[in-house]
Structure 1
């Protein structure tokens, strides 16, 4: 890596480089992945364990061709909390298992019908903004974590938080422009370390998580219970995750310049995601999904190696048993991760724009302009619809709107009713 070159998907890297590259991926996903079990009231150790196992299974099932990290899914928080409050966490696990089975069933269906239908219902003018929304709808979270916007309960912005955020973001950006060789590949990790040091100097690091953790901590396994009522509450969220999964595979395909929907195939990646979710449910963990944070890391560093992703998975499994290690990572202040996320999410948004540029979308055509405009506004406006207890909004709702528009225009084209034929 004397020059800043692309590390391809199946390319191995020396251990001295692979370890920091893998740790970088772990840092990127950690804060979001442990937040879900915290919200649901369970130990994050079991989530870290199953995320790592799920990621290794994903790499195996996709034949090492699709670099992706499986982290805890946010889509299930709302329906899961409803089930937990009424029936208990065990019944939520039963719903997670059924959802994973649905993923696998859809994957098997896709294996036989193919993926050409995606180009029909999500043409580039629709897929581009949907992919961009994966990053753009998370922008407010990055700003909130960074402390640069007023949050609930605080009527002013803390300058210490802003300083840490700006320093972290500055080094993340500078790293993309100035770092050379191996340093350019671990620019995110360097930015996190520098941001953490600044936070220490400003006295805003909370060491409570480190003090309360023991050295060895066994993950808490919980057996699932099944209830039709709980299952019906949770399964609508599967639509959100399937839409998210397709979007993530498309944006990753753009980044690595390979069509992952066809090789190894959407059926393999979705089946792996479903199997991971099912196993997580049986072990007492939360559903998993491919993570945008790690996609952003790949976009920035140009390191696509599944060996690095696999190393991050192994490190996650290690952390699930070492309480002090996970506790130390938990002490990383929110502004540090906010500064890094600010850049990562923006890179994902830019990937969606790149998709439209590469596809040479013609915006002199009214249909393309209308489709992109409606999808962007749908995803960013805060509009939502409810299916049972599950809420569809942001990228997921925008994807549905895009599919409806794409299918409508396809049907109109088949009957030559559009003014393109005038």
Structure 2
């Protein structure tokens, strides 16, 4: 079969210099040395890493209803520029994605955008209110085929509802992604509870509010033999709880955000609301524990928790500012800075935590083989990203594809750049610029 593209000179995550040929069907036709390039467009990836397309289990695309901050179109453009070929859109839109109709709308918008795959995440409870289970089965049976359910932004605080939700999703091997925050311990919380929060006069968000929910939920998952995923882990105690749960054979997975791997509560001293996030930035010791947890496999994935906000809701007084940070376009450089440059991970491990593991958790699989997402093997759909780790730049949110500019890394110098992205064999990013979207049939 005629090759459409041949990527030459790049290094796979295993550290082997390998050419990659992509055929006209959008599949990886060959991997090897000095592949024939007759009739193909040749892309020189010398000095670059060829990664499987990144997969984000935790993205806020805001649409429907909050399209002044982000849309599926702008959010997936940002994702593509960051090297992602699949994102999972959280349910806290307006209306909430708690019915088959809303998740199908998000699914259709994703296909229409053509920059990445978009998998809607269904709400666990109606309106994210924590009072009544949402239409879980209907969302799974819909055209969107929802497998992941989360009230992210809110905690499923009622243990009876959480148990019932875990039992519902068990029937189709789905899972609940929990925003671990005991609401009664965090009323009015503005930042991490510590000596610094007292000094700054801001209400504290204690670590135990996260850890107590994780402890409860891993035991519930064990009790009903179901799957639970812990969103945006932020404390050292949470890492230890997840490590213990895994040692007991409990079916728990967990994610960490790039910002929790890099930033600490000390940034809050500026009172700049760009650093206001939920869960809050924690202490140096927590950052160290999170990095170690990701390195040793206790934490399974990196999830961006990309949370765009308008200038009106973010550039205001700290106490009334919205919580959240953008992160899709800076995720890989931050992971390079925190995990590669520190020697905690190699590129094989980065592919595992940013592609393979999130795809495995969502069950992007066909008879056990990851053929659509998270893999770089012959015969797989050509979802891949080419990354230049030597490129240095200063973060400028005004240049991002996201509709919002609330990046905590503004003016920070980082290394690394996604230069090319193939989504279903179509080159959606070329030389670090967006090209044209993939046209779904």
Shorter-chain TM band? under 0.3
Q: Could you say which structure has the higher strand fraction? A: 2
TM-score normalized with structure 1 length:
0.25
Q: Could you say which structure has the higher helix fraction? A: 1
